[in-house]
Amino acid sequence: MSSKITSDMMKRLFMSIALAAGLAPGALFAQQTFDNSGNSLLHGTYFIRQVWYGNLSSTGVVGEAASLTGTITFNAGTYTVNAQVADTAVSGGAPQALNTTGNYAANSSGMFAMDDPLSPGDVLYGGIGASAIVGSATESLSFDFMVAVPMGSSVSSSSLKGSYRMVGMDYPNGDVTKVSNYTFLINPDGAGNLPVASLTGHAVNVNNTLYTQSITGATYSLTATTGTMTFPAQASGTSLISGTKQFFLSSDGNILVGGALNGYDIQIGIAVGSSSPAAGFNGTYFNGGQDYDASSFAANGYYYLDSFTGSAHVSTTASAASAVTDLRLDADNWGSYDYTYLEQFAIASDGSGPETGYLNFVGVGGNAKVVIGQSTNYSVELDVLAQPLTVTGPVILNPLGIVNGANYLPITNPVAPGEFVSLFGTGIGPSTAVVGSLPYQTTLGGVSVTVNGIPAPVQLASSGQVNCIVPYGVNTFFAVFQLTYNSQKSNSVTVYVDSSSPGSFSLNNTGTGPASALHLDGTLVNAASPAKIGETIELFVTGLGAVTPSSPDGAPASSTVLSWTNDTIDIYVDGVLTTPLFTGLAPYFAGLYQVNLTIPSVPDTGLVNLDIADENNGAYSSVASINVAAASSGKIQVAPHRRGPSLGRVATAKETAAHRRFANLNTVTTAR
């Protein structure tokens, strides 16, 4: 069932977890209680807009919609909300006053959890940026999206000048058959006049067709406590945007957010400049948003909604942006699961970046990005540059620097028992890299790592990066990493834990692109030697979790008694399901998993998507690709999946009932 891997192949496989040129992100929590070490990152008064859609029917019809608009003041773990709430089930949607308090916790990576002010009993999860925070209650049975911006103390209409790229999404009265999505430029003059340019969008009840509208006479007003924008309605037909919207501008002037007091829409604007923002679009970003698929009802018999929060690690060269993204996705008829994917697009001089089904806009300096859907896709998303806590000391573990050792998956992605992870920081090991040999020991080059107090096998130690394996004994909700170098302890960094967190090793050592795979004769699967339909190959990954029979931490896996994964793993090649012949530990290695699969008949040839799915926890990875020959068509197709799993994939009962996070923020304890 498995062929022995050569020592040369071992070098190739582990190149992708050797010293990395750039920093990739990680995640931070506490072992059983949501870490509040970063509470100082979230303080003061913010303007908040949140939209919520719930009580869905079996076909996805929204039974109740709500929105919240007002202020939220954060102070040392508690918050106070003074807002107006509209709810289709209360007083015909007329705005009602809401004054409430709640608890929150933020960790040093900038991630937070807070009591949901609009849906008591739920918890909002999200991330903190300098210009905004974003969040969603991804573990609930409803769908929501929240954006809040810090309020300045001396704001007036003159504060709003320059150009802003606006995006918006609306569920009129919560009606899924009238959803609209739009984008436009505003050029406020600082005196209350709001010129609107390039208003384009689409609506479900207008055949999902892109159309353009003109708006003249739009105005705005902004004071230290409130702001309004007023858009005249179209003389006839469906107005993409009209009426008065409450809004506010972030204290740094980069982001604005708003919506109608008696509506269920949300508008987000990001500052844009005259020069291309591509050069600044790098680093770790928190994201949040919501989606609607207008084609779902005809295809599947239900309306598809989702909401999400997550993170992305972005690198941009010239105008080419590449983002390895993790979403904690709350999807109708799917439940909640982690979805990781690669997205790539070119950034134009105006900041726009189209990709299949979606349109990105990057703001000035690369500080933020907004997204809308196209055609039958409806979406609104905000990405903000992460703002972690500053850590000092001789041995510093970066709060954004714990990542999957194969794909460098970003901050919100969990770790799994048995997974190879890379830790990034400053002064965390010797200046000359030391590489361990099997079986990996728990001390290497003066470096040791503990995960929830359990010593972790260390494979590589250097001043900026340490590679280790998550002990199989880590089975709690959170994993606390701490590193020691020459008796000096680092700060603790905490991440989510799940039963699996798949990541494919890559041939180009970047964590993306063609996956590390072998033909059964031991040669590489690559462009010169592609896999053929009907051929069985071996794929090498990490993060597939616990195995049976178990294997000691850091020890090479047996070649005589194979260790199989406890979770059921599926593989999709070019969107086509193939059931693996074997999923388990790769013989002769530690922290490395092997998947034997047969290439199915696929629609494309060349480099195609290679996705990994876990039927138990719903995790879905769409980062890697593979070269395939002798397909039915002659085109080359690598299509990043923007949202959700591959088309044609059918949810299993296990996935539909995927486990969820819960939280009692009085003790700020969560489970996922």
* Residue 166, pLDDT score: 98
* Predicted confidence band of residue 3 (pLDDT cuts 50, 70, 90): very low
* Residue 154, pLDDT score: 83
- Note the pTM of the prediction, 2 decimals: 0.90
User: Which among 11, 465, 567, 447 is positioned nearest to 456, based on CA atoms?
Assistant: 447
Identify the three-state secondary structure at position 10: helix
* Residue 32, pLDDT score: 58
Does the pLDDT at position 164 exceed 80?
yes
Does the pLDDT at position 188 exceed 70?
yes
Across 11-15, 37-41, 452-456, 640-644, least confident range: 11-15
Tens of pLDDT, residues 298-319: 999 999 999 999 999 999 999 9
Q: In the chain, what are the domains?
A: 7-12+505-656 (no CATH), 39-154+245-385 (no CATH), 176-244 (no CATH), 392-496 (2.60.40)
* Residue 664, pLDDT score: 29
List of residues 6+ apart from 11 with CB closer than 8 A: none
CA atoms of 470 and 449, how far apart (whole Å) = 10
Task: Give the alpha-carbon dihedral of 181, 168, 241, 302, to 10 degrees.
Answer: 40
* Residue 238, pLDDT score: 84
Cα within 13 Å of Cα(121), Cβ side: 3
Tens of pLDDT, residues 343-366: 999 999 889 999 999 999 999 999
- Asked if omega into 457 is within 30° of 0 (cis), the reply is no
Tens of pLDDT, residues 567-622: 999 999 999 999 999 999 999 999 999 999 999 999 999 999 999 999 999 999 99
Identify the three-state secondary structure at position 151: coil
For 33-50, the DSSP string reads: S---TTGGGS-EEEEEEE
For 178, 214, 228, the CA distances from 207, given in Å and listed in that order, are 10, 20, 31
Per the DSSP assignment, residues forming a β-bridge with 355 are 358
* Residue 509, pLDDT score: 84
Tokens of 308: 């999400």
Q: Name, of 39-53, 270-284, 655-669, the range with top average pLDDT.
A: 39-53
Q: What share of the chain is helix, strand, coil (3-state, %, to 5)?
A: 5, 50, 45
Give me the mean pLDDT over the 37-41 stretch.
93
CB 410, CB 398: distance < 8 Å: no
* Predicted confidence band of residue 288 (pLDDT cuts 50, 70, 90): very high
What is the pLDDT of the chain when averaged over all its residues?
A: 88
* Predicted confidence band of residue 566 (pLDDT cuts 50, 70, 90): very high
Give me the mean pLDDT over the 124-128 stretch.
96
CB 447, CB 483: distance < 8 Å: yes
List of residues 6+ apart from 364 with CB closer than 8 A: 254, 270, 271, 272, 273, 277, 280, 351
List of residues 6+ apart from 569 with CB closer than 8 A: 500, 502, 544, 580, 583, 595, 612, 613, 614, 615
CA atoms of 416 and 623, how far apart (whole Å) = 18
CA atoms of 444 and 366, how far apart (whole Å) = 39
CA atoms of 84 and 88, how far apart (whole Å) = 14
CA atoms of 608 and 633, how far apart (whole Å) = 12
Identify the three-state secondary structure at position 101: strand
Does the pLDDT at position 143 exceed 70?
yes
* Predicted confidence band of residue 640 (pLDDT cuts 50, 70, 90): very low
Name the residue type at position 604: D
Tens of pLDDT, residues 468-507: 999 999 988 888 899 999 999 999 988 889 999 999 999 9
* Residue 630, pLDDT score: 67
CB 371, CB 168: distance < 8 Å: no
Which has the higher per-residue pLDDT, 359 or 154?
A: 359
DSSP label of 250: -
Give me the mean pLDDT over the 200-214 stretch.
95
CA atoms of 283 and 590, how far apart (whole Å) = 30
User: Which among 664, 670, 665, 477 is positioned nearest to 74, based on CA atoms?
Assistant: 665
Distance of CA 60 to the CA centre of its chain: 24
Does the pLDDT at position 511 exceed 90?
no
Which has the higher per-residue pLDDT, 287 or 279?
A: 287
* Residue 494, pLDDT score: 82
Which has the higher per-residue pLDDT, 208 or 493?
A: 208
* Residue 237, pLDDT score: 81
Q: How many C-beta atoms lie closer than 10 Å to residue 563's C-beta?
A: 19
CA atoms of 62 and 77, how far apart (whole Å) = 33
Which has the higher per-residue pLDDT, 67 or 654?
A: 67
